[in-house]
Structure 1
């Protein structure tokens, strides 16, 4: 059978041309010039709005007799009741229902709706506010009082209810009643604004003594700096300077360590400044700077410097500037307590002021920052804090016992089993010599040799004993020296020179023989040079072999 590839419509086949969908040809725009009248989108929207048909609204119903009014009310109540059954927890529905009953002048039904709503959610203070406003608007004062009284009893922490209740009584001229409500409210210890409202209420009626009594209770309930400052300003406004000062003094006694104490001291000093008591103000500033941590005293320093520039002399201004620099150093050492250079600068500043108490305090704080690692490189800068401290106590403060204590504490702190500092041992011994305490110096140097022997210590100890003419002690020290360091050619040669200077040639020769017998010498050429070219005063060598 021959196949029909293109398809034959007579045989029930569709041709390819029949299945093709022809798209219309895009028309070409012949004239691209703009139209003489342009139509904007705004015009299109406006015309569409104008051609809209009017909304279909229900016709207005005019009630002509009591029957129609009753039907209308019955229909509306049914609508509200059906709506309440569906959304009982929707408070706005209850409010609309009660307000509609109010508009119909059926106040008993309106109250019934409000009471039913309160049974659903009595914690919603909006319901109480709307309920009381309806009673007040329609001049049912006793009903309104009843609503407010129940509201503040059930929700005593909602300040708005108390404010509205008091405002109503005040508008009615019932001042005693408003005061009684305030007293009930204060029993719940509200926030500061509630107490200040009570005070303003009393001041509106010139009850200054009552306001003062409320302030006393206020600062006991809220012992904060801002409350005490308000109290003092109240007394100052009424011209009671002595009372205001007394308030500030009580506040300082109770809140000197509070975080906001800076604000209290500034207010106190400014109060004294306004009263022309500049010395009192200066004492307050200095007391505050001594007691408030430096990190919380920025504003205080700024105020003090400005005060001294206005009222102080040259010394006072310099002291204030020193205080400002002191604050900068405090900030540096607070950020990095191990920055010993900052501590040195801080100490030099305090020493320039020559206040012994402050200087010792800064020294103690500085030496309390012990390096965290027991490695000598970390201690090399730190140890000079102790040295400076001891020198200050000896030379400036002239406190001998304190100087001795500083040296003792420093030597106890150093971990001598890992490393030591010969400088500290020698300074401590020299201090004892200056105090004519030779036994103390020997004890210090003996402890140094026992705990941390060093070349410097041996040399200095031998030098001291040699100056005192104690030859036997020098010999013992040289023996200890050589026991500790038998390879030290310097020690051998100096020991031999000592004996030779005493004309003990045989002892010197024996010392040299012992020296060259040591297995490992650090500088044998030095030793041999002394042996060969040394003489006993007779022009002969010490070499005997």
Structure 2
């Protein structure tokens, strides 16, 4: 038993020795000598042993050379057997054979590599580079021919092939390769490279013919601009202008037309054709889609440089028009922007533009049938009607504006007394009393309001139609029997006609109503009016 306890104590002592308890650091102050991470890495690098490299072997006879070549080939063949798809092994193998001046074997390696994957254009490039470097020109041509035949959409192969022929002085051959390439209708850069090739040999007419084929093959705005700049660079201003005009005929309504018009205007500006430049800018601003900031900025800068005061103001107005167009495009229900836009057009005085903006503005009907959303919108119709009546002086259009506005308002949920009254007052100004009465009668039938009754009664009173006033008061009270103001005004109306009994009877009927809004007002008017 004691022996066991002793063994257990020895065992516990051994465990404690292996895993000593973690002691807390008592002194946490910085050490006098600080060790940086950079110093630790430097010391670790210095302590590393030197890399073991195999010694350089010196081959002294043909037998050793043959053995060396055999070992290298066997190593590469084994690597290829394990990873046939690894292209770097093929490249190293071919370069090894090339360094040994065994060009047939190197060529064989390249051919085997292409059998693995002929779609990799980098292998074709390296293969052709090998042939060119060792001055096997016909072999290189053969490689390029096969490459561009199998991979005609890889531009780099065509570029390298043409560059080789051009360096050899074979201009006709390079031109022939370009023609074969162009038959595939490549991208814009390929056509421009063909043009530059002809220009290097001063073949202006050939370059011009290439540009004609280019704009026919790739009809883009940028292609026409490059064609025009080519003509301008060669001093052919008339030809350059015709290029721009042909482009405008085709691309005036395109999304990229802004770039074309800006380039055309800058060309005319360089030619000192100020009026032509101004006409181009104005034509562009009138025909291209809205929202083109660069065109407006260019036009304003041009007018500030060459224009007079009116031209500058016109340019600024156009720029502000673009800003408003941008605002209403972002938020069509922002009626304040529409008001500002309309005010800008009204300052210009162009009736067609003003009406167009009004029509676009009133087309943005509030989405919800709640009066708070319509309170700002309805003033667009009011301003439209006032413009047609006062500025345009087109009475039929004014009448049509009021009529369409009344049709649009959902009178079953809410209405606007101002619209009814303004329409009726317009008819009165046109001496159309029947039309005014019809409008006010419809207002009472569809959307009766205090303002409508009061104004209708006031109009008939001014015209001296007492019977009509009396009937209107009756309609008024039928619609709102609790309205003490209406009762008192009806009684005062009868009293003003010396109809005291009628006035007294009206007061009696008013007092008999079950729920009056202000009965004290009614009693006060009765006492003061009848006594």
Settle same-fold status: TM greater than 0.5.
yes
Whole-Å separation in 1 of the counterparts to 2:52 and 2:283: 82
1:508, distance to aligned residue in structure 2 (A): 3.7
Paired with 1:277 and 1:16, the residues of 2 have a C-alpha distance of 105
Tell me how far apart the structure 2 counterparts of residues 381 and 330 of structure 1 sit (CA, whole Å): 19
Secondary structure at the counterpart of residue 369 of structure 1: coil
In structure 2, what is the equivalent of residue 268 of structure 1?
264
Equivalent residues of 2:59, 2:65 under 8 A apart: no
**Which residue number corresponds to residue 281 of structure 2?**
285
Deviations 1:402-458 (A, max 9, x none): 212221221112111111111111111111111222222122111111110111111
The 10-residue stretch of structure 1 (168-177 or 218-227) with the greater mean CA deviation from structure 2: 218-227
State the Cα distance separating 1:503 from its structure 2 match: 4.1
How has the CA–CA distance of structure 1 residues 104 and 532 changed in structure 2, closer, same or farther, with 3 Å as cutoff?
A: closer
Shift of 1:314: 0.9
Given that 1:228 and 1:248 are in contact with CA atoms closer than 8 Å, whether structure 2 keeps it comes out as yes
Indicate how the Cα distance of structure 1 residues 142 and 405 shifts in structure 2: closer, same or farther if over 3 A, else same: same
- 1:15-64 C-alpha deviation (Å, 9 max, x unpaired): 9999998x9xxxxxxxxx99xxxxx9999899989x96995514301225
Deviation at 1:71, TM superposition (A): 4.8
Report deviation, 1:290. 3.1
Q: Once the two structures are superposed, what CA deviation does each residue of 1:334-368 show, in whole Å capped at 9, x if it has no partner?
A: 44333323322232222222222222232223223
Q: Select 1:124's aligned residue among 120, 125, 137.
A: 120
2:14 and 2:393 map into 1 onto residues whose CA distance is 124
Return the alpha-carbon distance in structure 1 between the equivalents of residues 51 and 235 of structure 2: 75
Aligned residues: 513
Report if the CA contact (8 A) 1:465-1:474 is conserved.
yes
Question: For the structure 1 residues 480 and 46, does the alpha-carbon distance in structure 2 shift closer, same or farther, using more than 3 Å as the test?
Answer: closer
- Contact kept in structure 2, 1:6 and 1:15, CA below 8 Å: no
Q: 156, 161, 171: which one pairs with 1:165? A: 161
Where does 1:393-472 land on structure 2 (aligned, <5 Å)? 393-472=388-467
C-alpha displacement at 1:202, in angstroms?
1.6
By how many angstroms is 1:291 displaced? Answer: 3.7
Give 1:301's aligned residue. Answer: 296
Match of 1:244 among 215, 220, 240: 240
Measured at CA, do residues 150 and 467 of structure 1 come closer, stay the same or move farther in structure 2, by a change above 3 Å? same
Residue 203 to residue 43, structure 1, CA distance change in 2 (3 Å): closer
Task: Compare 141-150 and 304-313 and name the one that shifted more.
Answer: 141-150
Partner of 1:81: 77
Deviations 1:164-194 (A, max 9, x none): 1111222223222222221222222222211
CA distance in 1, matches of 2:51, 2:376: 95
Whole-angstrom CA distance in 1 between matches of 2:85 and 2:59:
32
Q: Look up the match of 2:139.
A: 143
Q: 1:56 to 1:273 in 2, by over 3 A?
A: closer
Q: Which residue of 2 is the match for residue 350 of structure 1?
A: 345
Cα 1:447–1:20 change in 2 (3 A) is closer
Change (3 A) 1:178 1:15: closer
Q: Structure 1: give runs of 5+ residues left out of the alignment.
A: 24-32, 35-39, 536-540
- Look up the match of 1:477: 472
CA distance in 2, matches of 1:511, 1:326: 60
Contact 2:494/2:500, CA 8 A, preserved across alignment = yes
Q: Deviation at 1:504?
A: 4.1
For the residue of structure 1 that corresponds to 2:368, the secondary structure is coil
CA-atom RMSD in angstroms = 3.4
Picking from 59, 62, 73, the partner of 2:60 is: 62
Task: Give the CA deviation at 1:278.
Answer: 1.2
Deviates more, 1:194-203 or 1:376-385: 376-385
Matched residues in 2 for 1:18 and 1:318: separation? 100
Measured against aligned partners, the alpha-carbon deviations of 1:119-138 in whole angstroms (never above 9, x if no partner) come to: 11111112111221222233
Q: Which residue of structure 2 lines up, in the alignment, with residue 187 of structure 1?
A: 183
State the TM-score, normalizing by the size of structure 1: 0.84
Answer with 149-158 or 261-270: which moved more. 261-270
Aligned to 2:92: 96
Alignment counterpart, residue 379 of structure 1, candidates 371, 374, 382: 374
Q: Name 1:538's counterpart in structure 2.
A: none
Q: In 2, distance between residues paired with 1:89 and 1:15? A: 61
Give TM-score, length-normalised by structure 2: 0.86
Task: Please give the per-residue CA displacement for 1:247-288, whole angstroms capped at 9, x wherever unaligned.
Answer: 223333433444443322221211111111212211222233
Q: Are the counterparts in 2 of residues 6 and 16 from structure 1 also a CA contact under 8 Å?
A: no
Residue in structure 2 matched with residue 486 of structure 1 by the alignment = 481
In 2, Cα distance between the equivalents of 1:391 and 1:223? 50
Q: Which residue of 2 aligns with 1:30?
A: none
